[in-house]
Chains A and B, each alone.
Chain A
Amino acid sequence: MHYSKLRISSDATSKLRAMRQRMRITPNLLCRYALMSSLEDGPIGNAPLPDEDGQEFNASTLTGEQTQLFLAAISVVEEETSNKTPSNARVLELLRCHIHRGIGSLSVRLRSPADLFLRKADR
């Protein structure tokens, strides 16, 4: 499946802005980490949808060459609870949800890029 543009929540946007300084990478790449980190935390189910008042990304910058695999990973994770493959439109909603949730938790957890890859026990 394809999408061309995606708008994230205003809350996530302002958190991204704050994180940018610490993490030294652009918001689109931070979103990829946020997505993966949220997926690792498990399905999001029927959580309320975040608003769409924040930054807008092109698909090519947001998920880039790996778009298909990112979206597939969302389907796989979410099927756990609903037992059926989400529709295309739903996958995009879930993409927004996961990015929103991921940014929320990363913004608390990350002090430096190193924190992305080291377990909590290592600290």
Chain B
Amino acid sequence: MLIRNIVLEDFGLYAGRQVIDVQPTRGARKARPIILVGGKNGAGKTSLLEAVRLTLYGKLALGERTSQSAYEDYLRSRVHTGPSAGGLGRASVGIEFEFAESGVVHIYEVSRAWTVRGNVVQESMDLRKNGETVTVVPRNEWQNFLHELLPVGVSQLFFFDGEKITEIAEDSTDGHQLSAAIRSLLGIDLVGRLRTDLGLYLSRNQRSDVGSNQELETILAERDKIDEEVRSLSDQRADLQTQLDGQRRESAKAQQRFTVGGGEVALRRSSLTAERSALDHERTTLLAQFKEGSSGLWPWLVAPTLVARLQLALAKAGAADQDAASRLQKRFNAWQKKADAATQRRWTQEHKDDFQALLEATFKASDAPAAPRALTAVGNATQILTQASAQQSIVQGFAERLRTLEERIGEIDTSLARVDETTASYLLDELRGAEQSYGQTQGRLKVLQESLDALHYRRATLDKSREKLLISQAEDRRGTRQTELASRIAASLAAYETALIASKVRALEVAFVDCFNRLARKGDLVREVRISADNFQATLIGKDGAEIPRVRLSAGEKQVFAIAILWALAKTSGRSLPVIIDTPLARLDSDHRAAILERYLPEVSHQVVVLSTDTEVDVDMVGQLSDFVAQTHHLQYLPDERRTAVATGYFKSRKGASSALL
């Protein structure tokens, strides 16, 4: 599939009809797959991605089971309202794409238009193939037709934003995100649903055990309830996120105004804030290290004296035992030699062996000093203590670094407070107000996220018990012919699901290693990855064959991990689709950025639309990429007209670079 252009009419910040050409071209030797769309924050980059999703999926673009009224609210909010708006309350989005069917390329045009009159939102859809309205498929089936062309689950792997990358990167339970992606990619949810339905059929027909019947229904009911809650919380989260984005923009604007009008003080303040956020970032990494260490051996290191004492006791206990036993043995041997012949004869070999055994048994168990007996009973005590001591210097380094960081953060906060106190400025008040409400929203978001995580956990537990129930049902051989048949089908479905997942996971592992190593700065950091078929937990194996714990990856490497996962999933999906990425590089350091730019973007697909800010993909990077870039567009927000204008070329402020491009 190849998208020719995206059409926006009075959509969001876009006034009038805007057609954005996104076709890749061929260079002299290589293809040029990349279409760069630049725009500052709030210029409408994300609207482009939204428009594509909305066009293809309508209500579903907002998430599964969005209510009609929420969808209408959304449509209403996306009608352009700038001064140049016609006031007709009408907007539309559309895309034109090429799609090959049995070797023939067809051109499809999809568009979705809506009008708002008072409380009523009227939506209509148009689907054309090669310029003519599609008639083979009835109008009310158009949506399904599009779904088959490009399933929603699959599209998430091709159309995504930095947020999605962060979600996967920071996903501490990491199976959850990955599992959802893999399942939707394969359509395995369908198999799962079939099995559940069979389970219900079975339990309703097995008169014998009423218990399991009710159990399954209870589980399903509770799961539905949780789904409901998750949905409502997710909605709230989305609302908060929008609010937060708005507040972030607000606070950035306030910062700008303050910088312009605040003089010296403002300069100092912004350099302090920048340093603080860098320190915060490093602290987060340190705390992750602390968390890992704490569940390992670090607790032993708060008791150095005790650890030393235990080690000494262990060493002594071993030595003392050896000592006493061998001394007694020697005495006995000497006495034997001196003894008269009759005594010597009386001591047969059997006697001697018995004596030997007695010696060993005695010194193993009882003669050791009382203190370490509890200790020596622990098989791996010496090993644990040695390992703990070995981490001493790491812990010391961690603690000192953390303390330095925290002291510096404290200093910065004090200086900031002083700056704020001594400056009486309307602009500063405004800035602080904006920052405060941003912080509050962020806090609320975090709380919400925690309850969402708890729900996800409960849902996973329910799914496990459902699984158990279904398996035990499938194994149950009692009952009539029908139920027996159903049991057998359930069993083979389960086997099918397992085999399907296993084979896809294998393919994914191979693709992932390839993708990850191409992206990672440290060359062949990862030799292998093991993705568990049960919980989709990914374990990285380094080139020395040892596991690389997720926490040891830096924030940037985690992002690379996430991008590699998405890339590998897209590859395994076996579909040739365009890729649209919104602000992909926000949190990467410059080395990783270069890797993503040079190796990921040009290769990931035949068509790659990159929506980015000028700081993410700056003019230098555009220079590096120029061999692969087919087109550049620039979204510029015109504050007076409250609309975004689309122009060709990348950020124009620096002329040299953009003219070198086109």
Report the stretch among B11-19, B374-382, B510-518 that lies at the interface.
B374-382
- Is there an interface contact between A112 and B384, defined as CB atoms closer than 8 Å? no
* Residues in A lying within 8 Å of B, measured CB to CB: 24-25, 29, 32-33, 35-37, 39-40, 64, 66, 68-69, 71-73, 75-77, 79, 83-85, 112-114, 116-118
Q: A73-B375, A83-B370, A116-B399 are in contact. List 14 more A-B contacts (CB 8 A).
A: A32-B299, A33-B294, A36-B306, A40-B304, A40-B305, A68-B379, A73-B306, A76-B313, A76-B371, A76-B372, A85-B374, A117-B301, A117-B396, A118-B400
Q: Which among A32, A68, A73, A113 is the interface contact of B399 at CB below 8 angstroms?
A: A113
Q: Which residues of A contact B381 (CB under 8 A)?
A: 68-69, 72
B280 CB, nearest partner CB in chain A, Å: 13
A26 CB, nearest partner CB in chain B, Å: 8
Within the assembled complex, what's the spacing in Å between the Cα atoms of A79 and B306?
Answer: 13
Q: Which residues of B contact A79 (CB under 8 A)?
A: 370-371
Q: Which residues of B contact A35 (CB under 8 A)?
A: 299
A119 CB, nearest partner CB in chain B, Å: 10
- Could you list some 17 contacts between A and B, CB below 8 A? A24-B287, A29-B294, A33-B294, A36-B303, A36-B306, A37-B302, A39-B303, A64-B295, A71-B374, A76-B374, A77-B306, A112-B403, A114-B402, A116-B302, A117-B301, A118-B399, A118-B400
- Is there an interface contact between B402 and A112, defined as CB atoms closer than 8 Å? yes
- Is there an interface contact between A85 and B398, defined as CB atoms closer than 8 Å? no
- Is there an interface contact between A112 and B306, defined as CB atoms closer than 8 Å? no
**Closest B residue to A68 using CB positions:** B378
Number of chain B interface residues as a range: 35 or more
- Is there an interface contact between B309 and A66, defined as CB atoms closer than 8 Å? no
* Binding site secondary structure of chain B: helix
| Most A Cβ at <10 Å: residue of B381, B385, B400, B403 | B403
Asked if B551 CB lies within 8 Å of chain A CBs, one says no
Q: Which among B297, B306, B371, B396 is the interface contact of A40 at CB below 8 angstroms?
A: B306
B409 CB, nearest partner CB in chain A, Å: 10
B538 CB, nearest partner CB in chain A, Å: 23
Q: Which residues of B contact A113 (CB under 8 A)?
A: 287, 290, 399, 402
- Is there an interface contact between B371 and A25, defined as CB atoms closer than 8 Å? no
B606 CB, nearest partner CB in chain A, Å: 45
Closest 5 CB pairs of A and B: A40-B303, A75-B374, A117-B399, A32-B299, A114-B402
Asked if B310 CB lies within 8 Å of chain A CBs, one says yes
**Closest A residue to B369 using CB positions:** A79
Q: Which residues of A contact B372 (CB under 8 A)?
A: 76
Q: Which residues of A contact B379 (CB under 8 A)?
A: 68
**Closest B residue to A70 using CB positions:** B299
Q: Which residues of A contact B237 (CB under 8 A)?
A: none
Within the assembled complex, what's the spacing in Å between the Cα atoms of A76 and B373?
Answer: 9
Q: Which among A33, A37, A39, A72 is the interface contact of B375 at CB below 8 angstroms?
A: A72
**Closest A residue to B372 using CB positions:** A76
Q: Which residues of A contact B371 (CB under 8 A)?
A: 76, 79
Within the assembled complex, what's the spacing in Å between the Cα atoms of A69 and B395?
Answer: 21
- Is there an interface contact between A40 and B374, defined as CB atoms closer than 8 Å? no
* Known A79-B370, A117-B301: A72·B378 in contact at CB below 8 Å: yes
Within the assembled complex, what's the spacing in Å between the Cα atoms of A83 and B305?
Answer: 20
Q: Which residues of B contact A72 (CB under 8 A)?
A: 374-375, 377-378, 381
Q: Which residues of B contact A118 (CB under 8 A)?
A: 399-400, 403
B649 CB, nearest partner CB in chain A, Å: 47
Q: Which among A24, A76, A117 is the interface contact of B302 at CB below 8 angstroms?
A: A117
Within the assembled complex, what's the spacing in Å between the Cα atoms of A75 and B290?
Answer: 28
- Is there an interface contact between B310 and A36, defined as CB atoms closer than 8 Å? no
Asked if B364 CB lies within 8 Å of chain A CBs, one says no
A118 CB, nearest partner CB in chain B, Å: 5
B290 CB, nearest partner CB in chain A, Å: 5
Asked if B406 CB lies within 8 Å of chain A CBs, one says yes
- Is there an interface contact between B303 and A37, defined as CB atoms closer than 8 Å? yes
**Closest B residue to A38 using CB positions:** B303
Within the assembled complex, what's the spacing in Å between the Cα atoms of A39 and B291?
Answer: 22
Q: Which of B512-565 contact A (CB under 8 A)?
A: none
Q: Which of B475-491 contact A (CB under 8 A)?
A: none
Q: Which residues of B contact A39 (CB under 8 A)?
A: 303, 306
Q: Which of B388-432 contact A (CB under 8 A)?
A: 395-396, 398-400, 402-403, 406
Asked if B160 CB lies within 8 Å of chain A CBs, one says no
Asked if B300 CB lies within 8 Å of chain A CBs, one says yes
Within the assembled complex, what's the spacing in Å between the Cα atoms of A68 and B381?
Answer: 9
Q: Which residues of B contact A29 (CB under 8 A)?
A: 291, 294-295, 299
- Is there an interface contact between A33 and B302, defined as CB atoms closer than 8 Å? yes
Q: Which residues of B contact A32 (CB under 8 A)?
A: 294, 299
Q: Which residues of A contact B301 (CB under 8 A)?
A: 117
**Closest B residue to A61 using CB positions:** B295
Q: Which residues of A contact B300 (CB under 8 A)?
A: 36
Within the assembled complex, what's the spacing in Å between the Cα atoms of A118 and B406?
Answer: 14
- Is there an interface contact between A24 and B305, defined as CB atoms closer than 8 Å? no
B398 CB, nearest partner CB in chain A, Å: 7
- Is there an interface contact between B370 and A85, defined as CB atoms closer than 8 Å? yes
**Closest B residue to A86 using CB positions:** B374
Within the assembled complex, what's the spacing in Å between the Cα atoms of A18 and B384?
Answer: 31
- Is there an interface contact between A76 and B290, defined as CB atoms closer than 8 Å? no
A86 CB, nearest partner CB in chain B, Å: 9
Q: Which residues of B contact A37 (CB under 8 A)?
A: 302-303
**Closest A residue to B396 using CB positions:** A117
Within the assembled complex, what's the spacing in Å between the Cα atoms of A69 and B372?
Answer: 11
| Most A Cβ at <10 Å: residue of B299, B305, B373, B402 | B299
Within the assembled complex, what's the spacing in Å between the Cα atoms of A75 and B377?
Answer: 12
Within the assembled complex, what's the spacing in Å between the Cα atoms of A73 and B310?
Answer: 8
**Closest A residue to B381 using CB positions:** A69
**Closest B residue to A29 using CB positions:** B294
* Known A73-B310, A118-B400: A84·B303 in contact at CB below 8 Å: no
Q: Which residues of A contact B373 (CB under 8 A)?
A: 85
Q: Which residues of A contact B396 (CB under 8 A)?
A: 117
* Known A40-B306, A84-B370, A116-B302: A76·B402 in contact at CB below 8 Å: no
Q: Which among A24, A36, A68, A85 is the interface contact of B290 at CB below 8 angstroms?
A: A24
**Closest A residue to B402 using CB positions:** A114
**Closest B residue to A28 using CB positions:** B295
Q: Which residues of A contact B374 (CB under 8 A)?
A: 71-72, 75-76, 85
Q: Which residues of A contact B370 (CB under 8 A)?
A: 79, 83-85
Within the assembled complex, what's the spacing in Å between the Cα atoms of A36 and B379?
Answer: 20
B598 CB, nearest partner CB in chain A, Å: 37
